[in-house]
Structure 1
Amino acid sequence: MTTTIKNGNLSAEIKHFGAELISLKTNQNKEYIWEGNPEFWGKHSPILFPIVGTLKDNSFYYNGMEYHLSRHGFARDMEFELIDVTQNSATFSIQSSEETLKIYPFEFELQLIYTLEENNLSIAYKVINKGKSTMPFSIGAHPAFALPNHFENYAIAFEKEESLEYYLLENDLISNQTKKLEVQNKQIPLNFELFKNDALIFKALQSKSLTILENKNPILKVNFEDFPSLGIWTKMNAPFLCIEPWFGYSDTNENSGNLFEKEGIQILESNAIFHSKFTIEIL
């Protein structure tokens, strides 16, 4: 099942399974979201919760018990309930259950709120701690943007001049190795060689927006003011680029297995509410 929202400029289609954005189109029918061809990658824009990336040994410990969480958590594989809808907005929700408590022993509600305004789609996250104890979590976005022309026709532009150092992954965990990206005029031309070692992971950036350019013309901007970290990723020879605002990232080999000590983790007090959002702007 899907829900479609519209305004005078754009339409967005969201799948209830995973509350996943599967289409963002202009009124001229130009599509900006990757089609999800499983030959390359069968998803479009999954939500990453309650972890981002991979845990060491896919496990953590809490109150003397061992729990197992797969890469990027379970929210992307759950059926969300549509709890509110208007012509230009839709709100989806999941809540902790017997099944989630077996792998993540915290009571929560997660809401995703999609809203179209002019040439923007905002995607807001609301995490509610419904339990009596503090709750550790990470949350992140993973939208894949369609790049239908030759990959090397595209570039990404950072909002600010900065020294771009990213962390390399090793067996899906963050390694101690870093690399620097050569930036000219705040821009990086795209080529698949950039992603030969998987995603580019920035633990912290000065920039809070990233623009995709096609033949030097800006076509789309992702604004992620709330988010401290960012991933950029594609698969070899795939016609898409993921720009991924994150709160948190994969473990390192040195992680203790205690989620409360995990680098980049968010800690939410009992009955507290966490808010964040990012926007996709069509230029």
Structure 2
Amino acid sequence: MATTISNSKITATINSNGAELISLKDNKTGKEYMWNGNPDFWAKHSPILFPIVGTLKNNSYLYNNEEYHLSRHGFARDNVFEIIYQKDNEVVFSLKSNNETLQHYPFQFELQIKYAISENDLHITYSVFNENDFQMPFSIGGHPAFALDKNFENYALEFETDETLEYYPLENDLLSNQSLKIHLEEKTLPLTYSLFENDALVLKKLNSNSILLKENNLPVLNFSFKDFPNFGIWTKINAPFICLEPWIGYADTIDANGNILEKEGIQVLEPKKNDTFTFTISIL
């Protein structure tokens, strides 16, 4: 089921399956900013990654000496969320642990996803609730894909700060121990498909808290993500979209020992506590 929120300037549509953002439009021009999900390239639009981000070594992990299995990016994107609050410019979705999730992730949780529009901004907030009497490890992230109308090379990413991007190439979907560096040109990364020949650019650390997507040097949208320390940038070769992915956590390293509490980048939420993380898409 699709749910729409809007104001006088922008309209967002969210699918209850995965609480996935499937459309973001400028009301004046009718321009669509989200990727259309063409399965010839990638059938998703903006999946939510929880309770892991990326791939686990052997698609499994250990907790209290028990082995559990989770597929890449976790199960939230494949579950139907319930709407628990809605008004014209705001909606909140909820996913709670159930018998199926507990087989793969032995924790009682609630995951709330809030979409709220103000002016030209769409604020997306993830709230994770630990309903247990013990600590709960988790990762969470976004995976929004933005449609590119022109040739891919017409686009560039302008970072908030002039920094060197250090990324970790993937080996069988796991992070290698060797990093590579990209030196920005006046804070800018020109987009070329060659950047993604080995899948995503996985950034364990990023000084910038926002990225500007530009088309022929003109701003298209601003993406801000100060609550997220890790980041991914991805597309498929020859696909007309770019994914800007704010993460808390990332795939296992090739030498990961499998213990979820020792997983690099994992978050640990204390009993009966919750935490909240927000990123914002601003239409320019």
Bin for the TM-score computed over the shorter chain: over 0.9
Amino acid at match of 2:189: I
What's the counterpart of residue 22 of structure 1? 22
Give secondary structure in 2 for the equivalent of 1:40.
Answer: coil
Offset at 1:179?
1.4
What's the counterpart of residue 64 of structure 1? 65
CA deviation vs aligned residue, 1:54-94 (integer Å, no higher than 9, x gap): 00100011122110000000000000001110000000000
Offset at 1:255?
1.0
Paired with 1:98 and 1:165, the residues of 2 have a C-alpha distance of 40
Amino acid at match of 1:3: T
Give secondary structure in 2 for the equivalent of 1:76.
Answer: helix
What's the counterpart of residue 217 of structure 2? 216
> What is the aligned-residue RMSD (CA, Å)?
0.6
What's the counterpart of residue 238 of structure 1? 239
CA deviation vs aligned residue, 1:28-75 (integer Å, no higher than 9, x gap): 210000000000000000000000000010001112211000000000
Paired with 1:205 and 1:158, the residues of 2 have a C-alpha distance of 10
Offset at 1:106?
0.5
Paired residues for 1:111-130 under 5 Å? 111-130=112-131
Offset at 1:204?
0.6
Give secondary structure in 2 for the equivalent of 1:161.
Answer: coil
Paired with 1:212 and 1:140, the residues of 2 have a C-alpha distance of 19
Give secondary structure in 2 for the equivalent of 1:180.
Answer: strand
Offset at 1:9?
0.4
Paired with 1:160 and 1:64, the residues of 2 have a C-alpha distance of 43
What's the counterpart of residue 83 of structure 2? 82
The answer as to whether partners of 2:171 and 2:254 remain within 8 angstroms in 1 is no
With structure 1 as the length reference, what TM-score do the two structures score?
Answer: 0.99
Whether 1:13 aligns to 2:22 is no
The answer as to whether partners of 2:14 and 2:21 remain within 8 angstroms in 1 is yes
Paired with 1:152 and 1:261, the residues of 2 have a C-alpha distance of 40
What's the counterpart of residue 47 of structure 1? 48
Give secondary structure in 1 for the equivalent of 2:35.
Answer: coil
- Structure 2 gap ranges (5+): none
Give secondary structure in 2 for the equivalent of 1:128.
Answer: strand
Amino acid at match of 1:246: W
CA deviation vs aligned residue, 1:217-271 (integer Å, no higher than 9, x gap): 0111110011000000000000000000000000012111111101111100111
Paired residues for 1:118-267 under 5 Å? 118-267=119-268
Paired with 2:11 and 2:239, the residues of 1 have a C-alpha distance of 25
What's the counterpart of residue 4 of structure 1? 4
CA deviation vs aligned residue, 1:1-42 (integer Å, no higher than 9, x gap): 110000110000000000000000001210000000000000
Paired with 2:222 and 2:177, the residues of 1 have a C-alpha distance of 30
Amino acid at match of 2:150: N
CA deviation vs aligned residue, 1:109-161 (integer Å, no higher than 9, x gap): 00000000001000000000001110000000000000011000000000001
Paired with 2:165 and 2:277, the residues of 1 have a C-alpha distance of 24
Paired with 2:91 and 2:213, the residues of 1 have a C-alpha distance of 26
Paired with 1:77 and 1:168, the residues of 2 have a C-alpha distance of 27
Amino acid at match of 1:223: S
Aligned residues: 283
Offset at 1:177?
2.1
Paired with 1:148 and 1:238, the residues of 2 have a C-alpha distance of 11
| Structure 1 segments of 4+ aligned residues over 4 angstroms from their partners | none
